[in-house]
Structure 1
Amino acid sequence: MIPVAPQGKPATMDKTVFRFFDKFTSADEATRVRGACELISFLASEPEKKEKERAYALKRLIRGVGSNTNASRAGYFTALVGYLEQVKDTELCPGIMEIFGLVKSELSDSDKDGDDDDKQAQLKVELRIGKISVCGAIIGTGLVEGASDLELQTVLKTLKKGMHKAATPLAIMYLSELVKRIDTKKFTSVLWPVVEPKLNVAKEEQTMDTIYFLLAATSAHKKSVNKQFFQNNFGSPRMFHEFNYPYLANLLWDIKSTVTINHPLYDYLLEQLVEQDKVASFWTHGVEPILKDEGSEHKFKDIVALRVLITILNRLKTFQSLPELLSPGLLEMVLRKTKNFAQLSEDVRELYQEAFEALIQCYPKISDEECKLQVFEKLVSAPSSVLIEKYASNKIIQNLLATLSGESVQKAAQILKTLILSDNEAVLNQERIHATQALQKLLYNRHVLAENDWRLGHIKFFLNMGVFYSADGQKILKSSKNQSALSAELVPTMKSSFFHCLEQRHSKLADEKTFLLSIVEYVHEILEGSGVKTLRVPLSDEHLQYWHRMYKIVNGKQKNQQNQKLATVFHILVLYMGLHLFSDPDLAASSIAELESVMKRVQGKKSASKLAIKQNGTTAEPEWIEVVVDLFLNLMSQNSHLLRRVIGHVFPHLSAELTLTAFNQILSVINLKDKTNPLSVDEKGDDGADDSKMETDEEDDDTSGVESDGGDSDGKSSDSEEDDDDDEEEEDEFSDDEDGEKVTDKMRLAIQQALGGANPE
C-alpha cells in the first residue's frame, strides 16, 4: 500500500509531473518510451515527497490505457508497466484492489457517454481494451503471483467480461500469460472454472487465441485439462495427436495478413512440438498436405512455411527429424521460388535467406552422419536440385559437405555420381554439370586426402567420360557403339574436371610421378587394347607417335643415378605433356620433342662440352636449361591453368641450374616499368579457382571447350600482383635512383610469381 503522508501542512503537487504525459500520445515509439522513462525516473527520485504525484500519475496512466488511439494506448501502457515494475517490491506498490478501484473510477462507462450509438459502441470497445490492459500490466509485472483468491478472481472476471469481439484476443493473450504464473491449485479452482465456458466449444469455433491458451494451460498444468475435454471438442485425447495436426496446421496457414504470423501461437505451438519430439509427425500429417496442395487457397503459403521452418530449426536439439522437414512439398516450393529469386520482393528474399541460414546453422550440430547424408541427398535430388545454391546465391550444400567425415564424403561423392549418370530425363544437363564440378571439388576434401586409390578411381571416371566414349565411366566403348555414351553436351565438363584434378600438387615429386604414371599406364592400356577409335577426338598417327615416345621415356631405365632428381622432374613434365595431347595435341607434341632432346643432352652431359666448343671457335649450342626456360615461357603464355601450375611446381627444382642467359630470358618478358607481366595471371582470371567451382557460373567456361584445361588462372599469383601494383602506385614521385632500387626488389617478386615460389624438395 502507498504510505500515508505525515500530518501537517498539505504538500503542493509538483507540476513537473504534467509535462510527461504529452509524450505518451506520440506516433513515434522512441518518444513514447522516452516519456515513460522520464516519468518513472521523476517519481523514483525522493519518493517520500511525491505521494500526490504518484497518485496522480497512476490515475492518469490507468485512464490513458483506455485512449481512443493505438499509439496513445501503447504509450500509457508502457509507462504503467514500467512504473509497476519499478515499485512492485517496495512499500510504494499499489495493491491489486486499489488498482481496480481506479479502473472503476477512470474507465467507467457511465462517465463516458457517447453522442450516438456508433460512438457509444466504439467507446465501450476502448474501455474494455483499457480494463484488459490494466489486467495485462498486473499479470506481466508479476503482481498477480502473490494475489489472494479474491484479487485473482477480480482479474479473471475483468478479463472474461472484456472478451467481446476485437478485445477477445488481447484478453486471452493475458490469460495465457496468467496460466504460466499461478500454481495448479489456483488454476484448477479459480481460473479454469471462469474460462471453461468460453473454451468448451467444437474445434471449428476455436481460434488462434483459444488454442494458444489451451496449449499454455496443458503445458503448465498437464492434467488439469482432462482428456474428455479434448475428446469432446477435438475428437482426440490430447492436442498433439496425428488426427489433430491437419487442423493445427490449417490454423497457422489460414491467415489474412502477414501480421498474424507474429501471433504468439506460432512460436509456442512449435516450441511445444519440438520439446515433445512430435515435430516430424506434425510436419508429415499437417504441413506437407498443405504444401503439396496446388489448389490451396492459402494466400501466404510459402511465407508461413518459411517462418514455421525457421522457428523449428532454431529450436531443434536433436536433428533426426531434419530430413523429414525437408519434405518434397517444401523443396519443390523452395526450388520453384528461388528459380525466380530476383522477382521476389526484398522482404521475401531475406526470409528465404534466413531459412537457408537457419538450416546451415544446424549442420555442425548434427552428430549422426547418416542424417547429414539424407539431408544432402534431399537437397541435390528432385524435387530439389543441386542448382539450388546457384539460384539462391547461397551455400547450403557446400556448408553441409564441409561438415562430413571422410566416409560420408565418399558416400556423398557416390550420390553425386549417381545424379550425373541418372537416366531420368527430368535431370537437366546443367544439374549434371554442376554435380560434376561438385564431385571434382569433393575429391580433394581434407578428410579424404589420404584416400589415393578412391580419388584415382574418380579421376579415371572423369577421364573415361571426357576423353573416351563411355556411358558409365567404367566401360570404354568403341565409336561404332557410342550411341549409349555420355551426351556430347556434358563431355567438355568431364574433360575439364579431369584436367582440373591434374592441377593438385603432391608433397613429393616421386608421389606426383607415380600418380601421373598410373593414369598414363591406364590410358596406354586402353589405346593398346582398343585403339584410337575409343577416343572422342582421335589422335592422328603423328600425335599417337608422340604418345608412344612419351611412354617410352617415362618407362626407360635411368642410367645416371646422379641425375635422378632431374630425371623425375623431366618425367613429370613429359607425363603432363602426354596427357595434354588430349587437349592441345600440337603444343603437347612439340613440347615432348623438346623435352626429349633436353633429356638426352642432360644424360649425355653435352653441356660439359660447351667450353671445348667455344675454345675451338665453334658457335656454342644453348645450355639445356635455356631451352627449358624458353619452353616454360612458351607454355606459360598459353591460356592453361594446368600448365602454369605444373611449371610453378617444378621450376624451383631447376633453379640451381639457371644461367645468366636463362635469367635474361625471363627478364626479357617482364616489363617492370608499365607493370605488365605476361607470365603473371590475368586478374580477371580464376581468382581462387579451386574454391569457387560451385559458386560461379563455370558451366559457361566448361562447355565452351577444354583448350585451356579449364581456362583458369592462378589466384594466388593474381593476389600477389595486386599487392605489388598497390605498392607501385606512388613510384613516379621518387628519383631515378630510388626507382631503380625498387625495380630490383620488384624484379625478384615478379620472377618468383612467374616461375613459382615453392622450395625445392
Structure 2
Amino acid sequence: MESENVAEAMSPGEATKSGPRPADRHGLLKHSREFLDFFWDIAKPEQETRLEATEKLLEYLRARPEGSEMQYALKRLITGLGMGRETARPCYSMALAQLLQSFEDIPLCSILQQIQEKHDLQKVKKAMMRPALFANLFGVLALFQSGRLVKDSEALMKSVKLLQVLAQHYNHLHEQPHKALVDILSEVPDTMLQKVLPRVLKADLNSVLGTPEHLEIFLLAQQKVPAKLKQLMGPVNLFSDENIPRLVNVLKMAATSVKKERRLPAVALDLLRLALQENKFLRFWKEVVEQGLLKKQFWPASYLCFRLLGASLPLLSKEQLQLVMRGDLIRHYGEHMVTAKFPSQFKFAPEMNEYVGTFLEGSQDDPERQLAVVVAFTSVTNQGLPIVPTFWRVVRFLSGPALKGYVAWLRDMFLQPDLDALVDFSTGNQKKAQDASLHGPERAVFRLRKWIILRLVSIVDSLHLEKEEALIEEVARFCFFHSFFETKKPTSQIPETEQRFSFPLEGRVREVVGNAFFSLLQTLSTQFKQMPEQTQDRQPWTYRLVQFADMLLNHSRNVAPLTPFTTQQRQAWDRMLQTLKELEARSSEAKAKVTAFQHLLLLVGIHLFKSPTESCDLLGDIQTCIKKSLGEKTRRTRSKAANPQEPPWVEVLVEVLLALLAQPSHLIRQVARSVFSHICSHLTPRALQLILDVLNPEQSQDEDDNVVIMDDSKKQLEDEEDKSSEGENNKNSESEEESTEEESDEEDRDGDVDPGFREQLMAVLQAGKALGGAGDDEDDELDDEAMMALDQNLAGLFAEQKLRIQARKDEKNKLQKEKALRRDFQIRVLDLIEVLVTKQPENPLVLELLEPLLNIIRRSMRTSSTKQEQDLLHKTARIFTHHLCRSRHYCRDVGNSLETLYAQVERLVQQASHQADSSVSLYYFNASLYLLRVLKGNTAEKSTHQTQKKEKAGANTSTKPKGPEVAQAASCLDLNLVTPIYSSTLSSFLTKRNSPLTVPMFLSLFSRHPMLCKNLLPVVIQHVTGQTRPRHQAQACLLLQKALPVRELRLCFEDPEWEQLIGQILAKVTENFQALGEAQTKSEQLKERSSLELLNTVLRIVHHEP
C-alpha cells in the first residue's frame, strides 16, 4: 500500500524524469498527460481551478465512457480520499460525487466496496489509520452528495453500517460520522427511513437519552415517521419528571461539543420544536432551560441558552415571547452584557443582534411581534439603564406600525417610568455597594430617561424622511418642549401639554434632553435634504421648530418657559420672526442668498432658548448684516456709484460666521459649519481671503506682536524677557514650567539686570555714601540715621522693580492666553476650510488653499510645543492630505489660470527642496503632485502663452509613442514646462549632501506621470556612475529599479527607444561592477547591493519581453 501511495503522490512530469521502471503497474503510459493533470488540479486549493478540472475530467470521460480512463479515474479519486494533505480529501470527494452523479450506470455498492478495500480499516497500519478513517467518511459523503444514495436501499444500508463503525473512532473523527448519518436520514424517503430506523436507533429510552447523537435521531424519527417510532419504542414522553434531568445532561453534552464552533446544536432546536408541537413549551423552558441549564454557572450551557433564545424568536407567539423575555434567562443575558467588558472576554451581543435582526427582517407583516421583541429587549435594565445600546441598529428593520409603537412606548416610559415593568438586575459588585443612593428609584429613573432620549434621537438619525416625517416632527417637538418649557394648564392645541410626569423632571434630565435636541437639530439641518414637496409650506425643519417655539411663547396661559425671556430677548425673537417673513418675501429674488441668511437666522434664533444672552447679541448683529445686504438693495441699485465698495452678501455672511466662530461654543461652531455648507458654492475670492487672513501665520504673528501697545522701554524689557524665556523653554519641559512659580521668580532675579534699574541703584548707593560723609578712602561706618535712610531708599527701589517684574509677567501671561485663544479660533476656522474642500472639491478656489495650509503646517511643525499648536497641525494636515490631495474630485476648469498654476508648481517644488525637514518637504511635494493631477485632468485648449513656450522648446522635442502623445495632447499638462522643474530638483536630490527630498517622493511622481518619468530617466541614469557620491548612486539605482517594471512606463517607449534605454542602463551598471573593490563604508556597500538589484531587475525585464 505504501508503494501505491508513493506512485500516486508523484506528478506525471516527475514520473517521466525518475527513470525507467520495471513495470507500468498503474497503466500511466496508456493515458495522456492532459488526462493525468486533471487529478493534480482537482487537489489544488483554488476553488476555480478545482471546479474547472472536475468539469474537464467529466467531459473527457463522457467522450470515452467505455475506455480504461473511467476505471483509472475511479481508482485515482478513491485513492485521493485518503491523501496525506487534509485539504485535498474533500476535493477528491466532491469530484467523485460529481462523477457518480454524471454516470448513473456506475453501481454505488461497487464504489463503496472499492473504498473499503482500498482503505481497509482492518488491515491498515496504525500510522495510516487516520487517513483511512477520513477516506471512508469522505467516500460515504461522496455517495450521498451524488444524490443517488437515498434511492439505493442496499448502498444506503451499507453506508449506514459503515458510518456506525466510523463513529466508534471518536478521537479522530469526533461527531462527523453522526452528522453525516443524520444528514442522510433527513433526506431519505419515509418508507426507507422506516427500514433503516431499527438499525440506527435502539428501542431503549436510556440509549436515546444517553448521547446527543441518539437523541437527535430520535427527534428526526419523531418528526418524519412517528408511527414507526411508536411501534419501535412505544409511547415516549421526553418531558416527564423523570426525563427532564436527562435532557439537561444531554444538552450540556451538546453544548460542550460545539464550544469551539460557537453554534447552536441542532438537537436543542429540535427539542424546542417538539415542545411547541406537544404544547409543553412552558415546561421545557422553565425546567430544562432556566432551572436546568442555568442552574449552575456553566458558560457553554449559557451560550446554548442564549442561542436558543435567539433562534426561537420566529417560532414563538406574542404571549410566549413575553414569557421568555421576562424570565431568568434574559436577566442572565443582561448580566453577561454588562460584565463582559474586557477585550479578552467573549461577547455574545453581536450574535444576539444578528438573531434579532433576522427575526425583525423576516416578520415585516407582524408588527405586534416585532414590537413585543424590541420592547422586551429594551425592558432589560441594569439599575434602570437598558442593556441594549442607544444606537441599536436592528431597529432599522422595524415596520412602520411597529416603529411608531416603539416610539410611543419610549415616550410613555420617559413620561411615566414603570420600573415594575422592567426586568431589572444588579451585578454582584453593585449588590455589594453600601451606598443607598445607588439603589434608589430616582437614580434608575434618571438613567432610564437619559437612555430613552438618546434612543429617540438615534432613531431619527436612521429614518427615511419621506416615509416618517410625522414621527420625526413628533420626536423633535417632544425634545424641544421638555427641554425649555413646562406645562401650566393642558390644552388640546398643544399635545405636549397633556403629557404628565409620574416622577418630576429633574434639571439634569432637562439638560440632557436639551443637548439631545440640538444634536437632533444638527441632524435635521444636514442629513435630511428636504425637497419642497416633502415639507409643509416648503419650510425647512428649523423653521417649523421656530414656529412651534413661537406658538409656545404665545400660549403663556398654558405653558411657561423654564427661563423666561427678558424684554430685550423677546424683542430680539420678534425681530427675528419679522426678518424671516421679509426674507421669505424676497426668496424669489435671490434664492441662495435668502436661504443662507434664513438658515443662519433660524439656527441662532433657536439657540436663544439655550444661551439667551449670547444669542440675543448675535441676532442683533446678524439682522444688521441682513439689512445692509438685503434691506438697502433698492437704494444701492439706484446709487451704485455712491458706495461702490459695498461688500457682496457672501462676504458679509462669512464675516458673520467668523464672528460666531470667535466664541468658544460647540453649538455655535456647528451652526457655522451648517450655514457655510449652504453658501460655499457661492464663495468669492474675497470671501475666501477673509478666512485665509485668519489662518495666515505671518499675519497672526504680526497680530501677536501688536496685541498690547506699550512704550519703547516696556517693549524692550518684554523682548529681553521673551528671549530669556525662549532659552528656558528649550532647556525645560512643560511639566517643569508648570511645577512652581518660585523658580521663574529666581530666574527673573538672576537674569540680566535692567540698565535703568542699575543706574537708579548706583545713584541710591552713592547718595547714601555722600549722606554718611564718607569722602575719603577709609572704611567708616554710616551712622544709624544714614543707614535707615539708605535702607528706605533701597526698599522703595526694589519694591518698584518687583512691581515692574510682576507687571511684565502678567503681561506675558496675558499674551500667552490670547495666543492660545487665537490658536483655538484658527482651529475652529479650519472647519470652514474642511467644509469647502469636502463639499466643493471642484471649485477653483480650492487651489488657493494649498500654500496657506502648507504655511500653517510648516510653522506648526517648527513650534508645535503646546496642545493648541499640535491640534492645529493635526487638523490642517488631515484636511490637506485626506480631503484635498486624496480626494476623488478636483478642479476641472482651470480657465485662464494655467500660467499661474505652472508658476505655483515651480514654487512648490523649489520650496520642497529647501525645507529643513523631510516631513514638511513631503507636504510641499504632494501639493505639486496635486497640481499636476489638476493640470492632467483638464482638457481645455492651451493658451497662447503655452504655444509660444512650446515653440521655444521645440528644438528639444523627441518622437513619442502615438497613443501617449494623443492622450498628452488632450491634457493641459505641458511636459515641456514641467520637466525642467522636476529635472533640476531631481539633479539637486542626487548631488546635494543633505536633501529633504526622498526616493518615495519621486517614485510617487513616476508612478502617477509615466510620460514625465520618461523625460526624467536620463537624469537618473546619469547619476548611476561617475563622480557622484556612493549614496546618491545607490539612490539612482533604486529609482531605476522601482520605475522600470511599471507597465505604464513601458507603453511610453517605442521598441527601439526601450532597447536603447536598457542598453544604457546595462552599460552604467557594468561600469559600476568594473570599478568594484572592497567596500570600505556602508554607503559603498549600499551602492554595490543596489547595483546588483538593478541588474536583476533589468535582466528579469529582458527575459519577460515578448
- TM (norm. structure 2) is 0.45
CA distance in 1, matches of 2:361, 2:91: 41
Worse-superposed segment, 381-390 or 365-374: 381-390
CA distance in 2, matches of 1:607, 1:104: 102
Query: CA contact under 8 A between 1:85 and 1:141: conserved in structure 2?
Result: yes
Q: What are the within-5 Å matches in structure 2 for residues 42-121 of structure 1?
A: 48-49=67-68, 86=99, 89=103, 93=107, 95=109, 99=113
Task: Please list the CA deviations of residues 631-660 of structure 1 after superposition, one character each: whole Å capped at 9, or x if unmatched.
Answer: 34312444425532674488699x8xx9x9
Q: What are the within-5 Å matches in structure 2 for residues 279-294 of structure 1?
A: 282=281, 285-286=284-285, 290-291=289-290
Classify the secondary structure of the residue corresponding to 1:681.
Answer: helix
Q: 1:723 maps to which residue?
A: 883
Query: CA contact under 8 A between 1:248 and 1:286: conserved in structure 2?
Result: no
Measure how far apart 1:214 and its partner are: 2.0
Classify the secondary structure of the residue corresponding to 2:479.
Answer: helix
Q: What are the within-5 Å matches in structure 2 for residues 76-475 of structure 1?
A: 86=99, 89=103, 93=107, 95=109, 99=113, 145=150, 176=182, 179-180=185-186, 183-188=189-194, 190-195=195-200, 198-202=202-206, 205-226=209-230, 229=233, 231-232=235-236, 234=238, 248=247, 251-255=250-254, 257-259=256-258, 266-267=265-266, 270=269, 282=281, 285-286=284-285, 290-291=289-290, 295-308=295-308, 328-343=327-342, 345=344, 348-349=346-347, 352-367=349-364, 368-383=366-381, 388=387, 390=389, 397-401=392-396, 403-405=398-400, 407-421=401-415, 422=417, 424=419, 425=441, 427=444, 429-443=446-460, 446=463, 456=473, 458-468=475-485, 474=496
Change in Cα spacing, 1:419 to 1:84, as seen in structure 2 (3 Å) is closer
Query: CA contact under 8 A between 2:96 and 2:142: conserved in structure 1?
Result: no
* 1:634 lines up with 2:633 in the alignment: no
Count of aligned pairs: 642
CA distance in 1, matches of 2:70, 2:644: 112
Change in Cα spacing, 1:126 to 1:402, as seen in structure 2 (3 Å) is closer
Query: CA contact under 8 A between 1:246 and 1:286: conserved in structure 2?
Result: no
RMSD: 6.6
Q: What are the within-5 Å matches in structure 2 for residues 701-720 of structure 1?
A: none
Matched to 2:903, the amino acid is S
CA distance in 1, matches of 2:218, 2:380: 40
Q: 2:548 maps to which residue?
A: 519
Q: 1:14 maps to which residue?
A: 26
CA distance in 2, matches of 1:209, 1:493: 55
- Which of these two proteins has the greater Rg computed from alpha carbons? 2
Change in Cα spacing, 1:160 to 1:327, as seen in structure 2 (3 Å) is same
Task: Please list the CA deviations of residues 162-195 of structure 1 after superposition, one character each: whole Å capped at 9, or x if unmatched.
Answer: 886969977765654554565545544x534445
Query: CA contact under 8 A between 1:59 and 1:106: conserved in structure 2?
Result: no
CA distance in 1, matches of 2:80, 2:882: 65
Change in Cα spacing, 1:204 to 1:427, as seen in structure 2 (3 Å) is farther
Q: 2:903 maps to which residue?
A: 735
Change in Cα spacing, 1:678 to 1:140, as seen in structure 2 (3 Å) is closer
CA distance in 2, matches of 1:300, 1:489: 42
Matched to 2:618, the amino acid is S
CA distance in 1, matches of 2:177, 2:580: 93
CA distance in 1, matches of 2:674, 2:75: 86
Equivalent in 565, 577, 581 of residue 608 of structure 2: 581
Change in Cα spacing, 1:637 to 1:357, as seen in structure 2 (3 Å) is farther
Change in Cα spacing, 1:136 to 1:402, as seen in structure 2 (3 Å) is closer
Measure how far apart 1:211 and its partner are: 1.5
Matched to 1:467, the amino acid is F
Measure how far apart 1:400 and its partner are: 2.0
Worse-superposed segment, 439-448 or 375-384: 439-448
CA distance in 1, matches of 2:531, 2:75: 83
Higher relative contact order (CA 8 A, sep 6+): 1
CA distance in 1, matches of 2:337, 2:343: 9
Q: 1:667 maps to which residue?
A: 689
User: Which blocks of at least 5 consecutive residues in structure 1 are unaligned?
Assistant: 1-10, 18-27, 66-70, 237-241, 689-714, 747-761
Query: CA contact under 8 A between 1:145 and 1:182: conserved in structure 2?
Result: yes
Task: Please list the CA deviations of residues 260-314 of structure 1 after superposition, one character each: whole Å capped at 9, or x if unmatched.
Answer: 676999336636966997599758833886357753253412332355456667x
Q: What are the within-5 Å matches in structure 2 for residues 649-688 of structure 1?
A: 664=686, 667-671=689-693, 679-681=829-831
Change in Cα spacing, 1:254 to 1:144, as seen in structure 2 (3 Å) is closer
Classify the secondary structure of the residue corresponding to 1:14.
Answer: coil
Identical counterparts, % of pairs: 13
CA distance in 2, matches of 1:249, 1:102: 39
Measure how far apart 1:735 and its partner are: 1.2
Q: What are the within-5 Å matches in structure 2 for residues 589-668 of structure 1?
A: 589-595=616-622, 605=632, 608=635, 630-638=655-663, 639=665, 640-641=668-669, 643-644=671-672, 647-648=675-676, 664=686, 667-668=689-690
Q: 2:516 maps to which residue?
A: 497
Larger fraction in helix: 2
Query: CA contact under 8 A between 1:199 and 1:210: conserved in structure 2?
Result: no
Query: CA contact under 8 A between 1:323 and 1:371: conserved in structure 2?
Result: no
Measure how far apart 1:544 and its partner are: 3.7
Q: 1:22 maps to which residue?
A: none
